[in-house]
Amino acid sequence: MWTAPLRDQDGHELPNVHQRINLQLEECALSEAELLARVESGNPPRPYLPHSIIAPETIPAGQRIASNLTPEAVANPPQDVDQQLVNGDYPRNSKGETYGSMTWSDYTGYRPDLIAVGTTEGESGYVTFEDWEDGGYLGYPGDRNRLGEAYEEWCRNMPTDYLIPVYDVEHETVIGYHAIYNADGYDRTQKSIEEEIQMVADMMEGQGFSQQEIDEYVQQLRDRYAQ
């Protein structure tokens, strides 16, 4: 437990006002010094708040996820979800690996070993949790807790579609590949860039941004893609 000062929106410490913060250090990626610095700066890590009915000790540590639903909603999933789950948990293949949709994690409290996706050819299959997580960083081998210029350079040297293998439910046969989109890919065409910029501009206009704000952000995008 730490007692941390509260701060206003400008980061100034409020005099004689403190808040007690309970944090469970188990499975925390930060060192104790880094964690303390986060707490004292008023930016503590988001805690894991389990709402699922699955016993926490049976959930793989790296695959836990906090539910966005209330405990009541978790206990009463929609019929289409309930029919896919087995006693509130993901189904398992013959190897004991869990599989299914990522959207079910709100009810199970964790992500499955095999995540349901589509292939580039329109087939349905599963990617491993490890490949899915690695693909989110386009295979970047550096420190993923401190992404910076090296990561940006890595992305620019990777293709627009970063492919990871898709397996059958038994995790035995590769049936295709799932593409993870990389907006900074070296092989992006000017046409795709213009289409994305127009989509962003239309979205901003629909959200009520001024034309000046839209023009400024569009220029930032063009400068980014020109690098």
168/204 same-domain check = no
CB 207 within 8 A of CB 163: no
Residue 66 placed within a domain: yes
Residue 109 placed within a domain: yes
Q: Note the pLDDT of residue 122.
A: 92
CB 166 within 8 A of CB 117: yes
63/172 same-domain check = yes
Q: Note the pLDDT of residue 101.
A: 95
Residue 24 placed within a domain: yes
17/114 same-domain check = no
60/171 same-domain check = yes
Q: Helices 190-206 & 211-226, crossing angle to 10 degrees? A: 160
Segment 41-54, tens digit of pLDDT: 766 665 544 555 56
Distance CA 115, CA 132 (A): 8
> Which domain range does residue 66 map to?
56-181
176/204 same-domain check = no
Q: Note the pLDDT of residue 24.
A: 46
Q: Note the pLDDT of residue 65.
A: 78
Residue 45 placed within a domain: no
Residue 51 placed within a domain: no
Residue 50 placed within a domain: no
Residue 85 placed within a domain: yes
Number of structural domains (the chain) is: 3
91/112 same-domain check = yes
8/72 same-domain check = no
CA angle 179, 204, 200 (to 5 degrees): 30
Q: Note the pLDDT of residue 28.
A: 56
33/124 same-domain check = no
33/70 same-domain check = no
87/145 same-domain check = yes
108/203 same-domain check = no
pLDDT by 10s per residue, the chain, length 227:
444 455 555 556 555 544 444 444 445 556 777 777 777 776 666 554 455 556 666 677 678 877 777 778 888 889 999 899 998 899 999 999 999 999 998 888 889 999 999 999 999 999 999 999 999 999 999 988 888 889 989 998 999 899 999 999 999 999 999 999 988 888 878 888 888 889 889 988 898 999 999 999 988 888 877 76
172/79 same-domain check = yes
Tokens 């890590």 appear where?
45
Residue 49 placed within a domain: no
